[in-house]
Every structure is written in structure tokens, then in C-alpha cells.
Chains A and B, each alone.
Chain A
Amino acid sequence: NAGVTQTPKFQVLKTGQSMTLQCAQDMNHEYMSWYRQDPGMGLRLIHYSVGAGITDQGEVPNGYNVSRSTTEDFPLRLLSAAPSQTSVYFCASSSMATNEKLFFGSGTQLSVL
């Protein structure tokens, strides 16, 4: 099993550019989510989804869009990148069972110049 696959691993953008971070899971998980990791801060939830066609905002959603057209895929879109979005991004998925853990992707290191 591939688990949670995140691409790309590294990306450099110029301010104002747009891009999509890809996340796919092959575990038939209903729940998928995106986090950002910044120095001195815990992982912060950007957006999450509890199933195809359903998305909701997390703690830090501004500047990011998501969609969930299939159970497997949950892309994160930066519409107009800003230097404040320089961060490491993680995708994670889980079944919706109460005691189920999160499975994380390998992360994307994004720099916005």
C-alpha cells in the first residue's frame, strides 16, 4: 500500500503565482486534511474533508482552496502565493472511527519568494 502520497516534495514560487499541492490516499479513508508546519508552532489545520463533496475550514484557511471530488484525492490550491505561505505542508487522512489515527504524507516544503 502506498498510504498517503503527497507531491511535490519541494516547490519554489514567486509571489502571486498559483499552484496545487496534490494529496492522494489508497486506504479508502473518509477524512482528509491539510496542515502547515511553521517554526515554533504546532501543526495547524488549513482545511479538512469528511467525504467526497464535503470540505470545511480549519484554523488557518485564508489563501487556500480545497476540493474533494473523489474519496482518494484532496488537492490544496494556493491561488496567489504570498511569502507568508512559506511553510512545510502535510496532508493526512484517517477513517472516521473514533480511535483511528492520522496517516501523514511525506510533506511539501514550499518557499514563496
Chain B
Amino acid sequence: ILNVEQSPQSLHVQEGDSTNFTCSFPSSNFYALHWYRWETAKSPEALFVMTLNGDEKKKGRISATLNTKEGYSYLYIKGSQPEDSATYLCALNTGNQFYFGTGTSLTVIP
């Protein structure tokens, strides 16, 4: 069992604020690192899949970075909007198995 940790557990920000979350994982079992966005009453949807140390991915106002040597990934949201409110999950892929963190719950206050 591998421990994937996410922080903070929850976050409330004002509309327009930028924010970031952290995902920490054991670097020795790394194959890929995934980020998912999970809205209430829906299923998780993929944001990014990163495989290489130093990877940076961007999708609109959301971006992510990866450091496989020290075992962490950051997710950034620039200019948060109310529709960004969701739980953001990261998952370590060790090849055939996925280990999910408990998520960061983001609430963007209009």
C-alpha cells in the first residue's frame, strides 16, 4: 500500500484568487501521476497525466508541475471561478495500480 498525500484537505478562496494544491507520493514506485477533477454527484474527470520529471501541463487557467525525484506535484488554478469548485484528486500510477490521495476540496466564493 503506497501513501499518496494531498494538501490542503479543503480550501475556500474568493473569485479571482489564484490557488495551488500539493500532491506528495513515494518516488520509488513512479510510473505516472494523474490529476482529476471531481464535481459533486458526478464522476472524476481527468485533467492531466504526467510521466516525466519536470513535466508541466496546462489547460486553460489550470496547470500542473511534476517532480519525480522528490515525489511531489503541484496543481495551480489562476483566477479561480465559482465553476472551479470541486474536489481535485491526484493518483500515482505504479504501472497497473493506481493509488489516490484523499483530494483537496476547493470552494470558490463569488
Residues of A within 8 A of B (CB): 31, 33, 35, 40-45, 48, 50, 56, 58-59, 90, 98-107
Q: How far is the CA of A56 from the CA of B101 in the complex (A)?
A: 22
Q: Are A104 and B43 in contact (CB under 8 A)?
A: yes
Q: Are B102 and A40 in contact (CB under 8 A)?
A: yes
Cβ of B99 < 8 Å from any Cβ of A? yes
**Residue total for B at the interface (Cβ-Cβ under 8 A):** 24
Cβ contacts under 8 Å, A104 to chain B: 43-45
Given A42-B102, A98-B32, A101-B34 in contact, is the A58-B46 Cβ separation under 8 Å?
no
B42, B96, B99, B102 pick with most chain A CB within 10 angstroms: B96
- Nearest CB in chain A to that of B1: its residue: A59
The number of inter-chain residue pairs (CB within 8 angstroms) is: 56
* Residues 79 to 102 of chain B near chain A (Cβ within 8 Å): 89, 91, 96-102
Q: How far is the CA of A35 from the CA of B1 in the complex (A)?
A: 14
B88: shortest Cβ distance to chain A, in Å?
Answer: 12
User: Looking at the complex, which one of B46, B96, B99, B103 makes contact with A102 (CB distance below 8 Å)?
Assistant: B46
Cβ contacts under 8 Å, A99 to chain B: 32, 49-51
Q: How far is the CA of A40 from the CA of B100 in the complex (A)?
A: 12
B28: shortest Cβ distance to chain A, in Å?
Answer: 17
Other A-B contacts than A98-B31, A101-B46, 6 sampled, CB-CB below 8 A, are: A42-B89, A59-B1, A90-B43, A90-B44, A99-B32, A101-B34
User: Looking at the complex, which one of B1, B49, B100, B102 makes contact with A101 (CB distance below 8 Å)?
Assistant: B49
Cβ contacts under 8 Å, A107 to chain B: 43
Cβ of B4 < 8 Å from any Cβ of A? yes
